[in-house]
Amino acid sequence: MRVMCSSNWLFRSAVSGTLSSFPSSRFPPLLANSTASSSIRFLNSPPLLFSASLRVSPQVTTMASKNAQDQDPRLERISSAIRVIPNFPKPGIMFQDITTLLLDTKAFKDTIDLFVERYRDQNISVVAGIEARGFIFGPPIALAIGAKFVPMRKPNKLPGEVISEEYSLEYGTDKMEMHVGAVQSGERALVIDDLIATGGTLCAAIKLLERVGVHIVECACVIELPELKVQP
């Protein structure tokens, strides 16, 4: 599957062993236990192009320059706290259930702390959360780093004047909306969601923010589905 996003964006995994030719980020890598079924990712554009996984599929291994001793022990706790439910909401779907992560106060705090540690000193003024689970992780991160939280919502959910961005689904299209005036040109934003599958909603959020002159520092997702082979 391909993600239709602006040309300066690339979705990639730092643990896949197939890194791009873009310059590496000044953000430190986060490496994961290789026995989990999905991953946390951080995604951003040059010159800070970097992505890192906290949960990765069994066939993915960590970068050769790192070993298990380099890994943050919190990553295993987060990975173990996310439940995978087969055949939900329909046959063939392996549903990544974060409700079990939210029940584990230590693992939930670890998740927020890892994001906060990554973004605390990046002069971010906006945390944009994608409906709906981005609303869970975004606000505590925003409060901790001193940023405002901006909800990115589906159509007809926001009461004020909005701007919208259409994006493609497997069958048809959908829209992402944001309140007019919620962000200002020149602000630095973090976009957050719980999961990256094909990347369509993330790209819509990126385009929506870039249209009004916001600089996207990174996109952060708790879970990745690497088997969908997300590409730019």
Residue of 170, 134, 136 lying closest to 153 (CA atoms): 134
Active site residue 170: yes
Rounded CA separation 134/220 (Å):
10
Rounded CA separation 198/158 (Å):
25
Count Cβ atoms below 10 Å from residue 221 Cβ, excluding itself: 29
Q: Which of 41, 77, 133, 153 is catalytic?
A: 133
Q: Which helix (H) or strand (E) holds 81?
A: helix 73-81
Active site residue 133: yes
Contacting residues for 66 by C-beta, under 8 A, at least 6 apart? 29, 31
Q: Which helix (H) or strand (E) holds 162?
A: strand 162-168
Contacting residues for 103 by C-beta, under 8 A, at least 6 apart? none
Catalytic residues: 133, 170
